[in-house]
């Protein structure tokens, strides 16, 4: 019977390190808070998710085009977007142990109250009247709440002067708005159409991040879909449906996510409707993705601040207008985490000597599995290695493959199970005579003999 471990993140974090999915950032120097590095297997998983997203939302459609913009943008972008003035978290310090905490987390972890939209005064008051305790030392003695801007600052040029300040982008979205006219003029797309981008974003997150859930450097996959105002509800519902289809496509289980609509106080001032797709992480039900109706706020702001015209001329009804925007937004790292949690399975299996042992297997959807095929010679004997290398050369271009000949075949199967390889191909002594290999299925552990000459075709059929 399959058993899913829901008790903690510990198994996932430990497997991630043991098998090369994710390592702590700068580990040999004691780490750097809220940074993680993707290892040899993790980078394949992450790339597969990004490529699948690009295929699903860009390549397979004729109404969405791509963009890959610079991370560093003119500071005026962030003034126009409202990030310089308003991309803040309210922080409090514990006066006793000096722990610095996000006020919304302190409140929402302890009370059934949403902090979004509340003033600093209200936030301070809620903490005081409810006598909330510091999670580090247990005392209830906090400073007043104050604003802290989440954007990372740096300087362009040789002097660190105020007018040289630039920011690492906190979202990829703004580049799609800033390039709206460039995309329009170079592609002649007609509304409705979208611009999509995958790239790094940076936020100076100060609270512990729960592994790769909340990091200071992360990747987003964002789509800005430009529409006519009157179509907003129809488009919103459509994109909500596409987001659900995407979750199915990468194998996130239905029972583990839900949709939560933002209430009035939580909505950004320009948004008429926003939903979060939330996932049941072991540390709580939290935002995985978002879908927002942003009105025409963004293009209006950029028109005002840049003094460039952002209007669209609609040839269908001879009308000029600033397009409205529906924004489906996805975190790459949260996607990796959700598929890892969903894939993690412990199973009791019988061993050759009649005992049982626990098999840990990552049951990834085949289309995103980091390694598709493992080629395993039964022994290191030269003639077997040679044959196995030939099989590896045959499949490696089409399917991400690993060649592994170290340790016993049982141990190698377990290793491949732990990285979620759908098929292990064993080259044994019989292979030298019959030119066939044994293919083992990750989930059923059933084995099948396949002719080497037919292996490529067989694999194409099962993937």
Nearer to ligand GAP (CB atom), residue 203 or residue 442? 203
- Helix then strand then coil, in percent of the chain rounded to 5, is 35, 30, 35
How far is residue 40's CA from residue 16's CA, in Å, rounded to a whole number? 11
Nearer to ligand GAP (CB atom), residue 214 or residue 442? 214
Shortest reach from residue 284's CB to ligand GAP, in Å: 15
Question: What residues have CB less than 8 Å from 96, skipping those under 6 apart?
Answer: 134, 137, 139, 141
Nearer to ligand GAP (CB atom), residue 291 or residue 388? 291
Nearer to ligand GAP (CB atom), residue 124 or residue 197? 197
Q: Would you say 326 and 297 are in contact if contact means Cβ atoms under 8 Å apart?
A: no
Q: Would you say 375 and 391 are in contact if contact means Cβ atoms under 8 Å apart?
A: yes
Q: Where are the alpha helices (H) located in 222-331, listed in sequence order? A: 232-250, 297-306
How far is residue 58's CA from residue 185's CA, in Å, rounded to a whole number? 19
Nearer to ligand GAP (CB atom), residue 73 or residue 360? 73
Nearer to ligand GAP (CB atom), residue 192 or residue 199? 199
Q: 3-class SS at 405?
A: coil
Residues that bind ligand GAP (CB under 6 A): 171, 173, 203, 205, 214-215, 218, 220, 222, 287-290, 329, 331, 333-334
Shortest reach from residue 82's CB to ligand GAP, in Å: 12
Name the residue whose CB lies closest to ligand GAP. 331
Nearer to ligand GAP (CB atom), residue 338 or residue 437? 338
* HSE-up (13 A, CA, CB side) for residue 60: 9
Preceding omega of 68 cis (within 30 degrees of 0): no
Dihedral sign, Cα of residue 395, residue 401, residue 405, residue 407: negative
Q: Would you say 420 and 364 are in contact if contact means Cβ atoms under 8 Å apart?
A: yes
Shortest reach from residue 105's CB to ligand GAP, in Å: 13
């Amino acid at each position: 019977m399959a058993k899913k471990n829901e008790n903690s993140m510990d198994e996932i974090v430990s497997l991630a390190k043991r098998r090369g999915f994710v390592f702590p950032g700068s580990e040999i120097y004691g780490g750097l808070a809220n940074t993680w590095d993707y290892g040899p297997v993790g980078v394949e998983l992450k790339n597969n998710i990004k490529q699948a997203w690009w295929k699903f939302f860009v390549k397979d459609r004729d109404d969405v085009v791509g963009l890959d913009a610079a991370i560093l943008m003119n500071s005026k972008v962030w003034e126009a977007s409202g990030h310089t003035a308003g991309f803040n978290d309210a922080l409090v310090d514990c006066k006793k142990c000096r722990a610095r905490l996000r006020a919304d987390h302190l409140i929402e972890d302890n009370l059934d109250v949403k902090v979004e939209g509340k003033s600093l005064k209200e936030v301070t008051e809620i903490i005081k009247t409810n006598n909330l305790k510091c999670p580090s030392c247990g005392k209830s003695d906090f400073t007043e709440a104050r604003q802290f801007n989440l954007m990372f600052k740096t300087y362009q040029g040789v002097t660190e002067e105020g007018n040289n300040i630039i920011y690492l982008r906190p979202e990829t979205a703004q580049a799609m708005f800033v390039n709206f006219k460039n995309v329009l003029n170079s592609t002649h797309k007609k509304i409705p159409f979208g611009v999509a981008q995958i790239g790094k974003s940076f936020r100076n997150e100060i609270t512990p991040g729960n592994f790769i859930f909340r990091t200071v450097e992360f990747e987003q996959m964002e789509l800005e879909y430009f529409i006519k105002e009157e179509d907003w509800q129809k488009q919103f519902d459509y994109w909500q449906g596409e987001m659900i289809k995407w979750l199915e496509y990468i194998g996130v289980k239905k029972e583990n996510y839900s949709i939560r609509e933002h209430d009035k106080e939580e909505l950004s001032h320009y948004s008429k409707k926003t939903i979060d797709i939330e996932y049941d992480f072991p540390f709580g039900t939290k935002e995985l993705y978002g879908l927002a109706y942003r009105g025409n706020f963004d293009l209006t702001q950029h028109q005002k601040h840049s003094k460039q015209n952002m209007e669209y001329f609609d040839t269908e009804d001879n009308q000029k207008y600033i397009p409205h925007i529906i924004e489906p937004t996805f975190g790459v790292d949260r996607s990796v985490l959700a598929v890892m949690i969903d894939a993690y399975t412990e199973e009791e299996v019988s061993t050759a000597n009649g005992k049982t042992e626990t098999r840990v297997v990552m049951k990834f959807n085949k289309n995103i599995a980091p390694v598709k095929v493992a080629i395993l010679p039964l022994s290191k004997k030269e003639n077997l290695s040679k044959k196995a290398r030939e099989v590896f050369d045959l499949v490696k271009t089409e399917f991400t493959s690993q060649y592994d000949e170290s340790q016993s075949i049982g141990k190698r199967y377990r290793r491949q199970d732990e990285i979620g390889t759908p098929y292990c191909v064993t080259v044994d002594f019989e292979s030298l005579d019959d030119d066939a290999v044994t293919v083992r299925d990750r989930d059923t552990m059933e084995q099948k003999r396949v002719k080497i000459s037919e292996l490529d075709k067989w694999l194409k059929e099962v993937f």
